[in-house]
Chain A
Amino acid sequence: MTNRHTATYWIGFSVILALLVVAPLVLPEFWRRFLTEILIWGLLAMSSDILIGYAGMISFGHSAFFGLGMYGAAAALLMVRPPNLWLAIVYGLIGAGGVALFVAYFSTRLRDIYFAITTLIFSQIFYVIIFTWTEVTGGENGLTFSRPALAIPGLFSVPFTSATLHWFVLAVVAASYLLLRRITQSPFGMVLQSIRENEPRTRAIGYPVERYKMVAVMLSGLFAGLAGVLYAIQNRFAAPDFVYFLVSGEAVIFNVMGGMGTLVGPIAGAGFFLLLRELFSRFFTEYYLIPVGVIFIAMVIFMPQGLLGFARRWLNQ
């Protein structure tokens, strides 16, 4: 039984991965870019799923991690000549990790609604700092930079095309997925889920709940920062809008739409949201959030499991 389940799971994973690998070869430019973007937002949503779906903490502060990842990448790409892809990732992770440490230290002392509100306020603190510190961050205009080359030192160095960028993002997202899946299935992940189910009992058994939560927030922040770096590389800019809490809200929407606690669900949710946005932008232009918001509310009420929620147990086995 378990063997069959494992086999089906990995076959399904490989098929989807293969489809995503082939996709840029057959899709037109617009949809190629669109798919890459879904993967990046999916990574952000997946990172917040660690908190929402597994540890039961709704974070409205993921925009801070995402944005600091962007600005970290911008710092590496603007200050170091020639621009280096790997250095951008390292800087981005340092930026996001630093913020995550700060947020984790303070906000994990609180639960439920208080956690959501504090993370929201923290992301706004970073937003205000970035928005007003014009000399360093470029203020409202943000920073623009050129895209680094895809390079492995000593081996090769080629400029990114939209297809290679897609494959690079796909590789990062797939690796992150496998890593996060492994983490959620590890004893650490089990403790997180037990915190979600019953925090006092977890504490009573003897687990240092606060420490687990802090590690969870930091882990989540690092992956959100990674998504920020990828987004910065794809779009060649960093802007304060991406630190604003509406981005965190979108990450939460992706989770709810796709199915919390499944890891792949949030990616599907991001895809669903972006498709809806694309569809409704045709009719409602920039007011697409009106119908999308209504669909979101309806899903919260009638379909709290999300699109992939029905497969939750199966995916986590």
Chain B
Amino acid sequence: MDAVLQFLEAIPYDQILIQTVNGIVTGMILALVASGLTLIFGIMDVVNFAHGELFMLGAYVGVVVMAATGNFWVALILSTLTVALLGAALQLTTLRPLIGRDPLTTILATFGVSLVLQNYALWQFGPVARKIQEPFTGYFSLFYLDYPWYRLVIAGLSAAIIGGFWLFLKHGTYGIWIRATTQDRVMAQAMGIPVPWVHTFVFAIGAGMAAASGVLFGPLVGVNHAMGLDWVLKAFIVVVVGGMGNLGGSIAASIFISLLEAYASIWVSPAQAVIVSFVVLVLTLLFRPTGLFVPTPK
């Protein structure tokens, strides 16, 4: 009994609460990145290795627009649009010729794209991390911490973007086209849906979502050319844990994994906390390879 009490007293409740908030905030951003990735996979069997680089480029475009206009929200919107256009261009030039080939070749092509984009960013912006200024700097007190409102706003905004996108998928005409193409590509084509353009459009949306999360996340950490790698790895984990091509699953998995990592970093360094999510991935693949947050396939 004493041991239990001691254990309960040893748990740092305040830290756990703080980390819960932190975990949810990163989880929402991750969900925004991962939902683009899972959408692209679900609709065209493309594992987009360059997704992290689109996130990174989004953040950089945000930096540039911020420097020019000084307005965060303009930067957010312009960066989303620019990177979405870039995504469409990438899809047209590198992925469209690969339609009908082994899906594994798309990994190779997007890996090449990620190398090019990453080195392009290094060349254009140099190795020194840039910073995006937060749009507002209010704090509220959470135990001994002054917790920035901005973090909560990011979480809310990410949720709003994902929610809006979900409504679009559910009710918009083009959203229905997208869902039809995911379900049965050939049938959708037969019904007169321009499937190749749906692919391009979806890739552009995914790229735009990655860019938006890049800009939103920019104020929390520095923007540098290698930031995409961490995110694409995390997004892969999330997408696999949540069940490939499953939007709701990857959102749940994003929050789940981010919370675990946040709790783990109470005790170990953040670099080592990553291992927790790796372990979750391995266990998922061993015991439930279809994903944690999907109904059991019959």
Contacts and interface: CB of A to CB of B under 8 A. Distances in A.
Chain A complexes with chain B: yes
Interface of A: 58, 106, 109-110, 112-114, 116-118, 120-122, 124-125, 128-129, 131-132, 249, 252-253, 256, 284, 286-290, 292-294, 296-297, 300-301, 304
Interface residues of B, number: 37
Contacts of A288: 119
Contacts of B176: none
B2 to A, nearest CB: 35
B112 A293 contact: yes
Given A112-B104, A290-B120, A125 B278 contact: yes
Contact of B236 (A109, A121, A286): A121
Given A113-B107, A121-B281, A297 B112 contact: yes
Nearest to A131: B271
Interface stretch (B78-86, B95-103, B181-189): B95-103
Contacts of B244: 113
18 contacts: A109-B286, A110-B289, A112-B104, A118-B282, A120-B236, A121-B278, A121-B282, A128-B272, A128-B275, A131-B271, A253-B111, A287-B122, A288-B119, A289-B118, A289-B119, A293-B115, A296-B112, A300-B109
A70 B240 CA distance: 31
B119 A249 contact: no
Nearest to A252: B108
B275 A120 contact: no
Contact of B116 (A118, A131, A297, A301): A297
Given A58-B107, A297-B116, 17 more contacts: A112-B104, A113-B104, A114-B285, A114-B289, A116-B107, A120-B233, A121-B278, A121-B282, A124-B274, A125-B278, A249-B115, A253-B111, A287-B122, A289-B118, A293-B119, A300-B108, A300-B109
B237 interface: yes
A293 B108 contact: no
A252 B103 contact: no
B113 interface: yes
Interface string B220-256: 0000000000000100110010001000000000000
Contacts of B118: 289
Interface string B272-297: 10110010011001100100000000
Contacts of A131: 271
A39 B123 CA distance: 30
A132 B271 contact: yes
Nearest to B47: A113
A106 B120 contact: no
A-B complex: 7 closest residue pairs judged by Cβ atoms: A293-B116, A297-B112, A293-B115, A289-B119, A296-B112, A287-B123, A300-B109
B292 to A, nearest CB: 14
B71 interface: no
A110 B94 contact: no
Contacts of B107: 58, 113, 116
A106 B28 CA distance: 30
A286 B278 CA distance: 32
Interface in B118-172: 118-120, 122-123
Interface of B: 47, 94, 97-98, 101, 103-105, 107-109, 111-113, 115-116, 118-120, 122-123, 233, 236-237, 240, 244, 269, 271-272, 274-275, 278, 281-282, 285-286, 289
Contacts of A125: 275, 278
A117 to B, nearest CB: 5
A289 B289 contact: no
A117 B240 contact: yes
Contact of B101 (A252, A294, A304): A304
A290 B122 CA distance: 10
Contacts of B115: 249, 289, 292-293, 296
A129 B269 CA distance: 12
A263 to B, nearest CB: 19
B240 to A, nearest CB: 6
Contact of B271 (A118, A128, A290, A296): A128
Nearest to B278: A125
A297 B94 contact: yes
Contact of A256 (B108, B113, B119): B108
A243 to B, nearest CB: 14
Given A110-B289, A125-B278, A289-B115, A301 B236 contact: no
B139 to A, nearest CB: 32
A267 to B, nearest CB: 19
A125 B282 CA distance: 11
A121 B289 contact: no
A104 B98 CA distance: 30
Contacts of B98: 300-301
B111 A249 contact: yes
A293 B274 CA distance: 29
Contacts of B233: 120-121, 124
B116 to A, nearest CB: 4
A290 B123 contact: yes
Nearest to B274: A128
B117 to A, nearest CB: 9
A290 B120 CA distance: 7
Contacts of B122: 286-287
